[in-house]
Structures are given as structure tokens and as C-alpha cells.
Amino acid sequence: MPTCFDTALDHLAAAIEAVRPDAVLAVGEAGGRAGLSVERVAINLDDARIADNAGRQPLDRAVVAGAPDAYFATLPAKAMVAAIRAAGLEGSVSYSAGTFVCNHVFFGLRHLAETRHPAMRCGFVHVPWMPEQAPADAPAMSSDAVARGLAAALAAIGAGACEPAVSEGRLW
């Protein structure tokens, strides 16, 4: 899917229509984070501090006009983090998917579920830079480790894991 505000949601909607999944876990990159961050909240705001890959930089614009201010993930974020940690990797619950294209996709995904696919569960995970992308001394994770973490998160979803009653989360 392109990292572009104007086209990402069209690609997402087309893929969902083609596959009709029970659950969708979208993935994006968040440089500077040390582990996988399972997002719990998507906000209805595009406010890009940098331009997307098409050169667009929306400021203070709704992702979906007239939609709610925010949506929560419908996947078990805390259980997914527990599974990531059980795989020996760093993971955390995040309460801010930002205001760039990742949040745009997450909010659009949740809105699509609310309005057209109410049985579809969905969420979003941010992954860190790979070592070859990261500046010196910045946190990073190998692509193999990211794949293991995502597999653990997906296994928790597939197993129907329930949210553990633990305090989790941070704002980025």
C-alpha cells in the first residue's frame, strides 16, 4: 500500500473487498521505537509534519469528514503484546498512532469496519527501523525478529486471545 494520504484507503478498501477477512492487522514503520508497538487508538486527524510519498502534507484535516473523533482497535492489543514478549521480543501497547499515514490507515480501517464490515476486527502495529535503516545508536530490530513478533501477534489473534487485566501502554 502506498504511503500516501490520497490513495492508501482506496488500496485498503479494495483489498478488504477482495479478501473479506475476519481480521485485519495493518503494519507500519515507526523509526525510533525499540520494539513492536500495538496501537489501541486511531484518531480522526491528518496533521503531517512531513510530506507523504506523493508530496502531500495535510494539516489539521479529518481522515473521514463527519466520522467520530477516534476509534479503538478491536483486536486484543494487550494479548498481542504478551505474545510478542513471550516470543522473546520487545513489545508495548501504544496510545498514539501519530497523525501521519499510519494513523490515517488505522482510522480508515476502523471506519471501514464500522460502516461496511461490522464483524471484521482490526488493529495496527508499528514496527521499528531495521538495523540498516537506523541512524547510529538508534533502536532497531532485524526483519527476522519483526516477522517473529508479527507472527506471535497474529497467533494471539487467531487463538481468540482475550485481553489480560493488566495496565499497559505509553504515548509516543
Residue 168: predicted pLDDT = 81
pLDDT digits (tens, 9 = 90+) for 116-143: 999 999 999 999 999 999 999 999 999 9
- Residue 80's closest CA among 111, 126, 45, 42? 126
* Catalytically annotated residue among 39, 104, 111, 122: 39
Task: Kindly report the average pLDDT of the chain as a whole number.
Answer: 95
Residue 59: predicted pLDDT = 97
* Catalytically annotated residue among 104, 111, 117, 126: 126
pLDDT digits (tens, 9 = 90+) for 4-60: 999 999 999 999 999 999 999 999 999 999 999 999 999 999 999 999 999 999 999
Residue 94: predicted pLDDT = 96
Based on the residue annotation, tell me whether 122 is a catalytic residue of this protein: no
Residues forming beta bridges with residue 86, ordered by sequence position:
none
Domains of the chain (ranges plus CATH)? Answer: 8-13+24-158 (3.40.630.20)
Higher pLDDT, 15 or 161: 15
| Residues whose CB falls within 8 Å of the CB of residue 146, separated by 6 or more in sequence, listed in order | 36, 127, 128, 130
Q: Please, which pLDDT band fits residue 166 given cuts at 50, 70 and 90?
A: confident
Handedness of CA 118, 29, 169, 157 (dihedral sign): positive
Residue 162: predicted pLDDT = 80
* Catalytically annotated residue among 4, 102, 111, 122: 102
